[in-house]
Amino acid sequence: MHLKAFAKKSTRSTTLAAAITLVAGSLLTSAANLWAATPITVKFAHVVAENTPKGKAALRFQELMHERLGDKVKVEVYPNSQLFGDDKVLEAMLLGDVQIAAPSLSKFQKYTKQLQIFDLPFLFKDMAAVDRFQQGPVGQKLLTSLERKGLMGLGYIHNGMKHLSAYDPIRVPADAAGKKFRIQTSDVLAAQFEAVDAVPLKKPFSEVFTLLQTRAIDGTENPWTNIYSKKFFEVQPYITETNHGLLDYMVVTSARFWKKLPDEVRTEMKKAMDEAIAYGNQVAREQEEKDRQLIIDSGVTQVISIGEQERALWVEAMRPVWKEFEKEIGADVIQAALDANQP
Ligand code: SIN
């Protein structure tokens, strides 16, 4: 090409490139301005009271996000099933009607069978063992078990070990036979009650108090903070301290929502969530004992402790449930949970 013509063409393409850079730059700036100008709304829905480990973790998350991102992100927390019950919240999340939830680990069976591990009776020795399992490689992998369904696990929040409450004193499995117990939507929990010849009824958390008060059911299972904050103890004269199972949570969000967030928002949100979870777990450790004592001090319900022999009867009756669900959960996952019992 002639030198003059080349110089002219090259000036034209430099001008074109500059123009493209300018347009792209201004598009990016206006996208950034757009998200800065339009706050991102994050609805966090849960079913428990605000004065519980999960309730407090949700509020801490809201606080941290406000501190760090100001008005760019608006976190709205809906406790006490105000927005959705746990039976609807995950569907609502996939539709974009709620962005964060933390259902009990017993409520995911429609989405994955693997999380059923957390419902196996008498599996974890104590909450320290639960923590080791959740933070270990298998527990962390389980956070991804919902990905095929479009959901992502962001972490685990503790509540605590469950106890049986009822209208009659329950000490040994035979005392539970024939009684109706409200359970969460979990086949493992159904099998656990069937193993002692009791009648399990899957009902939403928001209905439990009324079901107990009207004696439509005889009893239920929950950790101390739920029994106290939802006043179940006021309509249950007996609570047997069985520590027979776990009630913990997985914080979840929709993969679609998460991926669409601007990078800096996603990073801050994950950091804030990790801190809120750590705070919630500390609350769980402290509040469990406090709420237990408040229930005892109320004098309206009697807390029954069981001895080693009685405990052995419960274990013997309920342990066969492990075998029943081993295939769905995975023998290796069960083994990893058992290994976590050794510090
Ligand atoms: C919860 O703690 O989130 C509710 C548990 C239940 O449904 O019993």
What's 168's domain CATH number? 3.40.190.170
Which amino acid, one-letter code, is at 170?
A: I
> Quick one: residue 299, left, alpha or beta (phi over 0 = left, psi -120 to 50 = alpha)?
left
How many structural domains is the chain composed of?
Answer: 1
Q: Is residue 294 in a domain?
A: yes
Question: Which residue among 44, 46, 47 is best mutated to probe the pocket of ligand 1, counting the most ligand atoms within 8 A of its Cβ?
Answer: 47
Query: pLDDT tens for residues 224-247?
Result: 999 999 999 999 999 999 999 999
Q: What residues form DSSP beta bridges with 252?
A: 101, 153
Q: What pLDDT, on the 0 to 100 scale, is given for residue 12?
A: 52
Which atom of ligand 1 is the closest one to the Cα of 107?
A: 7
For residue 193, pLDDT beyond 90: yes
Distance in Å, CA 226 to ligand 1 centroid: 7
Distance in Å, CA 289 to ligand 1 centroid: 18
Whether the CB of 227 sits within 6 Å of ligand 1: no
**If residue 285 lies in a helix (H) or strand (E), which one and from where to where?**
helix 263-298
Q: Is residue 185 in a domain?
A: yes
Which atom of ligand 1 is the closest one to the Cα of 204?
A: 7
Whether the CB of 165 sits within 6 Å of ligand 1: no
Q: Is residue 8 in a domain?
A: no
Q: Is residue 21 in a domain?
A: no
Confidence band, pLDDT 50/70/90 cuts, at residue 38: confident
Ligand 1 atom 6: the closest Cα is on which residue? 205
Which atom of ligand 1 is the closest one to the Cα of 46?
A: 3
Q: What pLDDT, on the 0 to 100 scale, is given for residue 37?
A: 62
Q: Is residue 55 in a domain?
A: yes
Q: Is residue 50 in a domain?
A: yes
User: In which domain, by residue range, is 163 found?
Assistant: 34-339
Q: How many helices (H) and strands (E) does the chain have?
A: 14, 9
The angle formed by the CA atoms of residues 221, 226 and 227, to the nearest 5 degrees, is 65
Cβ proximity of 239 and 165 under 8 Å: yes
Whether the CB of 146 sits within 6 Å of ligand 1: no
Q: What residues form DSSP beta bridges with 156?
A: 250
Confidence band, pLDDT 50/70/90 cuts, at residue 2: very low
Q: Is residue 203 in a domain?
A: yes
- What average pLDDT does this structure show over 269-292? 97
CA distance 61 to 283: 14
Burial, 6: exposed, middle or buried (Cβ in 10 Å; 0-12, 13-18, 19+)? exposed
Residue 41, helix vs strand vs coil: strand
Which atom of ligand 1 is the closest one to the Cα of 226?
A: 2
Distance in Å, CA 262 to ligand 1 centroid: 32
Q: Is residue 298 in a domain?
A: yes
Whether the CB of 226 sits within 6 Å of ligand 1: yes
Whether the CB of 48 sits within 6 Å of ligand 1: yes
CA distance 132 to 108: 21
Whether the CB of 52 sits within 6 Å of ligand 1: no
| Rg of the chain taking only CA atoms, in angstroms | 25
CA distance 100 to 254: 8
What global pTM score does this model have? Answer: 0.89
CA distance 163 to 241: 5
**If residue 329 lies in a helix (H) or strand (E), which one and from where to where?**
helix 320-329
Query: pLDDT tens for residues 3-29?
Result: 344 345 444 544 544 444 444 445 444
Which amino acid, one-letter code, is at 114?
A: Q
What tokens does 93 get? Answer: 């999340």
Which amino acid, one-letter code, is at 30?
A: S
Distance in Å, CA 207 to ligand 1 centroid: 11
Whether the CB of 236 sits within 6 Å of ligand 1: no
Which residue, 77, 82, 69, is CA-closest to 100? 77
Which atom of ligand 1 is the closest one to the Cα of 223?
A: 2
Whether the CB of 205 sits within 6 Å of ligand 1: yes
Query: pLDDT tens for residues 80-108?
Result: 999 999 999 999 999 999 999 999 999 99
CA distance 232 to 295: 10
Distance in Å, CA 206 to ligand 1 centroid: 9
**What single string gives the DSSP state of each residue in 247-283?**
EEEEEEEEHHHHHHS-HHHHHHHHHHHHHHHHHHHHH
For tokens 């007996």, the residue is 238
Q: Percentage of the chain surpassing pLDDT 90?
A: 88
Whether the CB of 222 sits within 6 Å of ligand 1: yes
Give CA separation, 17 vs 6, 27, 31, 204, in Å. 16, 15, 21, 60
For residue 35, pLDDT beyond 70: no
- What average pLDDT does this structure show over 143-148? 96
Distance in Å, CA 182 to ligand 1 centroid: 11
Residue 157: CB atoms within 10 Å: 29
Ligand 1 atom 7: the closest Cα is on which residue? 205
Whether the CB of 109 sits within 6 Å of ligand 1: no
Which amino acid, one-letter code, is at 37?
A: A
